[in-house]
Amino acid sequence: MKTGIVVFPGTWSDRDCAHALLEVLGEPVRFVDYREQDLGDLNLVILPGGFSYGDYLRCGAIARFTPVMNAVADFANRGGLVLGICNGFQILQEARLLPGALLRNASCEFRCEWVQLRVEQSDCAFTVDCRPGQVLRIPISHGEGNFFADPHTLESLEANGQIVFRYCTADGRITPEANPNGSLRNIAGVANARGNVLGLMPHPERACEPLLGGDDGLAIFRSAIHALNRVAV
């Protein structure tokens, strides 16, 4: 698997993603500058977290018009695997590659803490190694992660199995207390209808080694590796 990690002005989690893939999983990575227009032979593209363009106007609103995003859209439309983490999720929504929007947290606070995610379905390329109902412990770090979509979109996300992760308690219950930001229906991550583009607010790359407090985030990266191998066979 060849992974490209896109770096916008203001991206801050690019090296954490590279560390998780290269140092922990031994997968080759390269950084992709936001001015690049050709993704070459990449199999997986990650839009990492951060504050691209200072979050000016809206989170992700400026980054989505950079040259690399045309290439990312083409790549996604051809079925390439795209993972948007935190600010990357916001950029994918602004680019309309994922549905909904992320509003300011209901508490108006920046939340930086460990949360639990329930895997809602394992058909997505990024959860093929997980079982539905499995609980992953992964940290969040954001001020604008409050998932919103209109009622019609929410119903179609539910019907199509596009809700991949929900915030939950340690034993997997979906409760208001487990929801750190006010997201509708506790939604933490959604995929496109085809299942090759995933966005989530939590940071799996920061949960890839016991030293960091846990390694549940590896399940997401390993799933992508296995999904790609399955296609190749």
Applying CB under 8 A, the residues found at the interface with other proteins are 57-58, 61-62, 65, 93-94, 100-101, 103-108, 146, 148-150, 182
Using the minimum distance from each CB to other proteins, give the nearer residue, 193 or 231: 193
CA distance 152 to 195: 19
| Minimum gap (Å) between residue 103 Cβ and other proteins | 7
| Minimum gap (Å) between residue 228 Cβ and other proteins | 31
| Minimum gap (Å) between residue 151 Cβ and other proteins | 9
Does 108 participate in catalysis according to the annotation? no
Using the minimum distance from each CB to other proteins, give the nearer residue, 35 or 152: 152
Does 152 participate in catalysis according to the annotation? no
Using the minimum distance from each CB to other proteins, give the nearer residue, 154 or 200: 154
Distances (CA, A) of 174 to 66, 83, 87, 129, 168: 37, 24, 24, 22, 5
Does 203 participate in catalysis according to the annotation? yes
| Minimum gap (Å) between residue 186 Cβ and other proteins | 15
Using the minimum distance from each CB to other proteins, give the nearer residue, 64 or 206: 64
Buried-state track 5-36, b at ≥16 Cβ within 10 A, e below 16: bbbbebbbbbebbbbbbeebbebebeebebeb
> Contact 46/3 with Cβ under 8 angstroms?
yes
Which H, E and C letters describe 178-205, residue by residue? Answer: HCCCCCHHHEEEEECCCCCEEEECCCHH
> Contact 72/39 with Cβ under 8 angstroms?
yes
- Say how far residue 229 (Cα) sits from the centre of its chain: 20
Catalytic residue among 86, 124, 168, 208: 86
Catalytic residues: 86, 203, 205
